[in-house]
């Protein structure tokens, strides 16, 4: 019998109304109420009713996605999935925090508060318009890294930010640096380079001010050992020690998300089933491109949560 990983998406998966279909479950209602209290305003109103602009603000998106993903996990547990413990957890960027909350390293309310502040720190780290990100399609990782180094020396700093799957890498940095990669992507073998609508150059060294503020906050935050090991974004390796995880969460703000490597690592550890909890199916799409032989189960609604239980047990 193969092993199971529970995985959780990051920013970009959000949609107004997400999680509302699971509100009839008392534990889900309590999750959203706890998140509202943790951030100090009616976050759930923004999640369920919008407006979309407010939900897209990073300081709202992060706790909103975390709470919704945990809500669908709660719906899954309520439907009988509590009998099924994963062997590993992982998440994409913000999703790593959700994974840690799912594994009991942080309470959902503490995680919601932390990622709300993480989002605010990230938004405030670089003045608006100074940073940018772009998705590079079709380039090899090392060729793109070399182009980024060349461009950083000539135009402005730009770095690999998300290594998502074969042929899909996101770069991040100064507007000048990212613009140059958009113009010169073909030099690294890119078929297309698509500028992204984001509020900052996430997962680049320009985020260092946000990492410093987060580190100070995390020093004061109790963190337990997760009930199951995490495969971390920064190293694409297993982490269970709370102090190591604390350090990885800080490094993750400026370091690339090694999602492709993380999935390979999980498969090497014996995982053959990935269950994605959260709105949409972004990670399932990426995992399919990384390894077409694994089994994928997407829990992105209360209905999907109920259907997933008999499929997995």
Sequence ranges of the domains in the chain: 3-125+206-312, 131-198
CA torsion 242-247-252-254 (nearest 10°) is 170
Whole-number Å distance between alpha carbons of 259 and 31: 27
* C-beta neighbour count of 117 within 10 angstroms: 18
In the CATH hierarchy, which fold is given to the domain comprising 131-198? Alpha-Beta Plaits (3.30.70)
Residue 163: φ, ψ to 5°: -95, 90
Tokens of 294: 């694994």
CATH 3.40.366.10 correct for 3-125+206-312? yes
Residue 56's pLDDT is: 92
Residue 265's pLDDT is: 98
Active-site choice (44, 69, 93, 284): 93
Query: Each residue of 70-96: pLDDT tens digit?
Result: 999 999 999 999 999 999 999 999 999
Contact 170, 133 (CB under 8 A): yes
Residue 203 annotated as catalytic: yes
pLDDT at residue 199 tops 90: no
Residue 198's pLDDT is: 84
> Mean pLDDT over all residues of the chain?
96
* Residue in 69, 62, 2, 71 with CA at minimum distance from that of residue 30: 71
* C-alpha separations of 157 from 7, 132, 141, 178, 247 in Å: 31, 11, 17, 8, 24
Indicate the pTM of the whole model.
0.97
> Average pLDDT, stretch 53-57?
94
Query: Each residue of 255-266: pLDDT tens digit?
Result: 999 999 999 999
Active-site choice (92, 203, 262, 284): 203
Query: Each residue of 151-161: pLDDT tens digit?
Result: 999 999 999 99
Residue 199 annotated as catalytic: no
46-55, 64-73, 138-147, 196-205: segment of lowest average pLDDT: 196-205
Residue 129's pLDDT is: 85
Domains 3-125+206-312 and 131-198 are alike in CATH topology: no
Residue 65's pLDDT is: 98
pLDDT at residue 1 tops 80: no
Q: Beta strand pairing status for 295-299 and 271-277?
A: parallel
Confidence of residue 197 (pLDDT cuts 50, 70, 90): confident
Contact 240, 283 (CB under 8 A): no
Residue 313's pLDDT is: 84
| Alpha helices (H) along 40-107 | 43-49, 52-56, 58-78, 94-102
Query: Each residue of 92-144: pLDDT tens digit?
Result: 999 999 999 999 999 999 999 999 999 999 999 998 889 999 999 999 999 99
Query: Each residue of 135-183: pLDDT tens digit?
Result: 999 999 999 999 999 999 999 999 999 999 999 999 999 999 999 999 9
């Amino acid at each position: 019998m193969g092993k199971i990983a529970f995985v959780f998406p990051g920013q970009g998966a959000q949609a107004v109304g997400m999680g509302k279909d699971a509100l009839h479950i008392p534990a889900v209602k309590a999750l959203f109420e706890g998140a509202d209290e943790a951030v100090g305003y009616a976050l759930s109103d923004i999640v369920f009713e919008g407006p979309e602009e407010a939900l897209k603000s990073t300081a709202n998106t992060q706790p909103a996605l975390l709470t919704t993903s945990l809500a669908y996990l709660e719906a899954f547990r309520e439907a009988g999935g509590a009998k099924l413990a994963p062997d590993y957890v992982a998440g994409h960027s913000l999703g790593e925090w959700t994974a840690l909350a799912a594994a009991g390293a942080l309470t959902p309310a503490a995680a919601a508060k932390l990622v709300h502040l993480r989002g605010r720190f990230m938004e405030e780290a670089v003045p608006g318009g100074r940073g940018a990100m772009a998705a590079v399609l079709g380039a090899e990782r090392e060729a793109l890294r070399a182009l980024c180094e060349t461009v950083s020396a000539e135009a402005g700093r730009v770095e690999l930010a998300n290594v998502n799957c074969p042929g899909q890498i996101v770069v991040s940095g100064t507007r000048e640096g990212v613009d140059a990669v958009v113009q010169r992507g073909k030099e690294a073998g890119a078929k297309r380079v698509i500028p992204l609508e984001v509020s900052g150059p996430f997962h680049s060294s320009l985020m260092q001010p946000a990492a410093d503020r987060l580190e100070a906050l995390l020093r004061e935050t109790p963190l337990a050992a997760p009930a199951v090991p995490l495969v971390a974004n920064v190293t694409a390796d297993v982490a269970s020690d709370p102090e190591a995880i604390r350090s990885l969460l800080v490094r993750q703000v400026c370091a690339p998300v090694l999602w492709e490597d993380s999935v390979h690592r999980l498969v090497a550890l014996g995982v053959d089933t990935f269950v994605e909890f959260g709105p949409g199916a972004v990670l399932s799409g990426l995992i399919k491109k990384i390894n077409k032989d694994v089994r994928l189960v997407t829990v992105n609604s209360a209905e999907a949560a109920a259907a997933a239980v008999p499929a997995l047990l």
